[in-house]
A and B are shown apart, each in its own frame.
Chain A
Amino acid sequence: MTAQLPALQVAIPLACAPLCVLFRVRFVPWLLFVVAAVGSLVCAALLAGRVASEGTVRYAMGDWRAPAGIEFVVSAFNTPVLLLVSLAATVTAGYARRSVAAEIEPRRRRLLYACLCLTLAGLLGLAVTGDVFNAFVFLEISSLATYTMIAMGQHRRALLAAFRYVVIGTVGAVFVLIGIGLAYAVTGTLNMADLAERLAEGHDNRALQAAVVFVFVGLAVKMAVFPLHAWLPGAYAEAPSVVSTFIAATGTKVAVYVFCRFAFTVFGAALVFGVLRIDRIGLALAALAMLVGSAAACFQQDLRYLLAWSSVAQIGYILAGVSLATASGVSAAYLHLINHAVTKAALFAAAGLLVMQLGSVRLSALAGLGRRMPWTFAAIVVAGLGLVGVPPTAGFVSKWALVTALVERGMWPVLVAMLASSLLALVYVGRIIEVVWFREPPASAELEPTQSPATPASMVAAIWFLVLLTVYFGIDPTFPGGLADAAASALLGSGGE
Chain B
Amino acid sequence: MMTFVLTNVTLLVILIATAIAISRMRALYEATMLGALFSLVTASLFVLLDAVDVAFTEAAVGVGISTVLLLGVLALTRSREAVTPRRRHLPALIAVLLAGGALGYASQDLPAFGAADSPVFSHPITGTYLHQSQEDIGIPNTVTAVLASYRGLDTLGELVVVFTAGLAVLSLVGPPARPEETMPRADFHLADYRIIRIISGILMPFILLFALYVLFHGEYGPGGGFQAGVIFAAGFVLYGLVFGLDKAQRVVPRVALRILVSLGPLVFIGLGLATMLLGGQFLDFDVLDPNHPEEGQHLGILLVETAIGFTVAAVMTTVFFSFASRGVSR
Contacts and interface: CB of A to CB of B under 8 A. Distances in A.
B110 A62 contact: no
Interface string A116-133: 001001000100000001
Contact of A21 (B149, B151, B261): B261
Contacts of A14: 156, 160, 265, 269
Given A62-B281, A62-B283, A148-B171, A134 B161 contact: no
Contacts of A452: none
A51 B94 CA distance: 46
B102 A210 contact: yes
Nearest to A4: B276
B171 A70 contact: no
Interface string B96-107: 000100110111
B149 to A, nearest CB: 6
A118 B262 CA distance: 13
Contact of A115 (B152, B156, B167): B167
Contacts of A446: none
A292 interface: no
Contacts of B269: 11, 14-15, 18
A189 B106 CA distance: 18
A334 B308 CA distance: 39
Contact of B128 (A61, A68, A210): A68
11 contacts: A18-B262, A21-B262, A22-B258, A59-B281, A69-B150, A115-B164, A148-B172, A186-B119, A207-B108, A210-B103, A210-B106
Contacts of A138: 157
Given A7-B272, A61-B152, A137-B158, 7 more contacts: A15-B269, A17-B160, A61-B282, A62-B285, A114-B167, A188-B126, A209-B106
Contacts of A145: 164, 167
A68 B137 CA distance: 13
A372 interface: no
Contact of B161 (A140, A152, A184): A140
A118 B258 CA distance: 17
B303 interface: no
Nearest to B99: A175
Contacts of A415: none
A68 B129 contact: yes
Nearest to B259: A22
A182 interface: yes
B122 interface: yes
A410 B106 CA distance: 35
Contacts of B164: 115, 118, 141, 144-145, 148
Interface in A140-189: 140-141, 144-145, 147-148, 151-152, 159, 175, 178, 182, 184-189
A303 B110 CA distance: 50
Contact of B280 (A63, A144, A188): A63
A138 B154 CA distance: 9
A188 B118 contact: yes
B270 interface: yes
Interface of A: 4, 7, 11, 14-15, 17-19, 21-22, 59-64, 67-70, 107-108, 111-112, 114-115, 118, 121, 125, 133-134, 137-138, 140-141, 144-145, 147-148, 151-152, 159, 175, 178, 182, 184-189, 198, 205-211, 213-214
Contacts of B70: none
Nearest to B107: A207
A486 B93 CA distance: 44
A63 B262 CA distance: 26
Given A17-B163, A62-B284, A206 B157 contact: no
B250 interface: no
B16 interface: no
Nearest to B129: A68
A398 to B, nearest CB: 33
A193 B129 CA distance: 19
B171 A189 contact: no
B111 interface: yes
B258 A21 contact: yes
Given A18-B163, A18-B262, A151 B172 contact: yes
Contact of B266 (A18, A61, A118, A175): A18
Contacts of A15: 265-266, 269-270, 273
Interface string B119-137: 1111101101100100000
A108 B169 CA distance: 11
B157 A188 contact: no
Nearest to B157: A137
Most buried by A among B108, B156, B164, B264: B164
A19 B123 CA distance: 41
Most buried by B among A107, A182, A187, A210: A210
Nearest to A67: B125
A178 B102 CA distance: 11
Given A134-B154, A141-B164, A18 B265 contact: yes
B265 A137 contact: no
Interface in B273-330: 273, 276, 280-286
B109 A152 contact: no
B153 interface: yes
B284 A111 contact: no
Nearest to B111: A185
A141 B154 contact: no
A185 B283 CA distance: 28
A188 B120 contact: yes
B119 A185 contact: yes
A147 B119 CA distance: 37
